[in-house]
Structure 1
Amino acid sequence: MTHLTLNLLAAVPATPTWSAGVGLIMVTANLFALVVARYGIKVKGVGPNLPIELPGLFEGFGVPELLGVTCLGHILGAGWILGLSQAGLL
């Protein structure tokens, strides 16, 4: 390994430990993704339906939509958590 590679490996930022604030940010990110998907997904209900009845916000959502929305929400949440912790706000 080169000297540059060793320096890059040593520059890994510290990640925050779990707290109620971190959980609240993740929930907020998932709700934000859900609202965006509610109005952004044009063709809903393609694929298997969810096995339980959910509130009206999820109307027309199937398994693929729910998995996609929660994946996007977790990606956004991880970014928000890492960004806020590096800025010193978390």
Structure 2
Amino acid sequence: MFLAVQATVPDTGEWNWIKGLIITGACLLCLLIIPRTIRYPDVGRKTPLPFPLLFNNPSIASFMAAMSAGHLIGIGTVLGLSNLGII
């Protein structure tokens, strides 16, 4: 059964710097948006990020949530653009 699933997965090509930039951009976008939408973003230890007003001085938990969401959105974008043939 694993071989049947493996045969249906399309080839996404090799890793290059454009895919890395897309994931980095998605992570930064999520880091700008998500700490502002969390109900209690300041609970817990703070991250030593530069520009505390820009990044809303997030706690470690909200930083990790933003990075997780950024990776999910970035990987979905890379896979979608690869399947469309744009990347």
Q: Do they superpose with TM above 0.5?
A: yes
Following TM superposition, where does structure 1 have runs of at least 4 consecutive aligned residues deviating by more than 4 angstroms? none
Asked if structure 2 preserves the Cα contact closer than 8 Å seen for 1:16 and 1:82, the reply is: no
Asked if structure 1 preserves the Cα contact closer than 8 Å seen for 2:45 and 2:60, the reply is: yes
**Total equivalences in the alignment:** 86
Report the equivalent of 2:27. 30
Q: Does 2:63 match 1:66?
A: yes
Q: Does 2:76 match 1:79?
A: yes
TM-score by length of 2: 0.82
Name the larger-Rg structure.
1
Unaligned runs of 5+ in 1: none
Q: Does 2:39 match 1:42?
A: yes
Letter in 1 for 2:30: A
Using the TM superposition, give the Cα deviation of residue 64 of structure 1 relative to its aligned residue in structure 2, in angstroms. 0.3
Q: Which moved more, 1:66-75 or 1:12-21?
A: 12-21
Letter in 2 for 1:61: P
Cα RMSD for the two superposed structures: 1.8
TM-score by length of 1: 0.80
Unaligned runs of 5+ in 2: none
Q: How high is the sequence identity, in percent, across the aligned residues? A: 31
Please give the per-residue CA displacement for 1:29-67, whole angstroms capped at 9, x wherever unaligned: 1122123214312321112222x2521222330100100
